[in-house]
Amino acid sequence: MRLTPAREGLRGQIAVPPDKSIAHRALILGALCRKGLAVRRLPSGGDLRSTLKVLQGLGCALRMEGTGVVIEGGDLRPPAGPLDCGNSATTMRLLAGVLAGHPFAVELSGDASLSARPMRRLAIPLRAMGAAVDLAGGEHPPVWIRGRHPLKSLSITLDVPSAQVKSAVLLAGLFAEGPTSVADPFGTRDHTERMLQWLSYGERFVRQGQVATVHPGFLEGGGALEIPGDISSAAFWIGAACLVPGSDLLLHGVSVNPTRTGFLSALRQMGGVIEETPAREEGGEPTADLAIRFREGLEGIRVPAEAAPSLIDEAPILAVAAAFARGETRLEGLAELRRKESNRLEGTAAGLCAMGARAYVEGDALVVQGPTVLRGGRVDTQGDHRLAMAFAVAALAARGETLLSDAGCVEVSYPDFFHELSTLLDRR
């Protein structure tokens, strides 16, 4: 895809796609509710289609209504064959936790990208709970599970920052013989905890400090949940408005869960102008309207490793912003980026360098020296949706034409991204 610089500021209002992380959990937990769940405003990307397809393969009755779905809760059934999770690690890891507590055998498979993702750290706690979990080569998908019921109770402390492993163990805990606890010293995203508390009315879930505890049993459900806007998708528009002179954007109904707003904090620390107006709460998740205005003079900052879990998906677009900031920006604790759809850590540095920035990887840190006048060039997205969108934003503020490889990979999380961008540019 060829992109040219924005000639004027980006102005207008945007409703970003619903939050993918929250939507996955709503679908999976809805399937475990006695009374089911109505989930409104689902994302349209490939990852959510994978979760819907897998749930149907497990005998879950789904009824599409507009942009949402009504899930009839009940017992899951043995599938007729392998369950294809597509490109979605969230689908695979969270459902592995659920299926560990069901007394039948199942195979979870995925595409080539997902089949290269690490799963051993997921298998270890599920095996400790009594499920049989096998991996290809002892490390990667397919994941073969023979569950048991009830599972053994477990109390663990995360040794790596992984919201998906934490969620899988808590979901498995619904089918254990007693309470299951997970201590999260990293402060990873807590959508599963919030939704468990919301769906169980606080009866089966307790959180004290870093420790989340789930008690076994069915969830009630029976209500409706509208999925709020995705902060990770909003990040690209926020970054664009901070980099293109004259921009003034308003984003409606974005999730501002405190475990996901590290990007907003970092960009504000750099000098970005982001105003937040509380909107409402959905399923235990706070939302807000975000107003972003361009202001010249971003400053480089250091983002310590302990902040990384709260902005891990937004690191590429934050690095793009850092290329325009005065001085050095150092983003630390990004080892997890090596295990995404691509080696996102190296890919971000390589893309910035291809556009003339001074960026390099140092251990698990990404270092960007600014300010730089980015120039258009050929950027390899490595088939990674977040890299594609981050460098599309960079192209808006660069000089000359930028050519992105495999821009169609945005289908995974934000199918309308380039259409929205074109519409936004035409509004001026």
Instruction: Enumerate the active-site residues.
Output: 313
Residues in the chain: 428
Cβ count within 10 A of residue 422: 11
Instruction: Answer for the pair 225, 18: CB distance below 8 angstroms, yes or no.
Output: no
Distances (CA, A) of 250 to 254, 283, 328: 10, 23, 29
Beta strand 224-226 pairing with 37-40: parallel
Euclidean distance between the first and the last CA atom of the chain, given in angstroms as a whole number: 22
Cα 395 to Cα 378: distance, rounded to the nearest angstrom? 11
Q: Which residues contact 146 (CB under 8 A, 6 or more apart)?
A: 104, 105, 131, 132
User: Which residues, listed in sequence order, are joined to residue 261 by a DSSP beta bridge?
Assistant: none
Q: In which residue are the tokens 């002892």 written? A: 138
Both structure tokens of 170: 């808590």
Q: What are phi and psi of 141, to 5 degrees?
A: -65, 160
Both structure tokens of 49: 């289609």
Alpha helices in 341-416 (DSSP H): 344-354, 385-396
Q: Is 279 helix (H, G, I), strand (E, B) or coil?
A: strand
Q: Is 156 helix (H, G, I), strand (E, B) or coil?
A: strand
Is the dihedral angle over the CA atoms 342, 344, 350, 353 positive or is it negative? positive
Q: Is 49 helix (H, G, I), strand (E, B) or coil?
A: helix
Distances (CA, A) of 214 to 152, 167, 197, 217: 13, 11, 9, 9
Cβ count within 10 A of residue 381: 25
Distances (CA, A) of 229 to 26, 114, 192, 215, 290: 14, 25, 17, 30, 11
Instruction: Answer for the pair 424, 248: CB distance below 8 angstroms, yes or no.
Output: no
Q: Which residues contact 258 (CB under 8 A, 6 or more apart)?
A: 286, 310
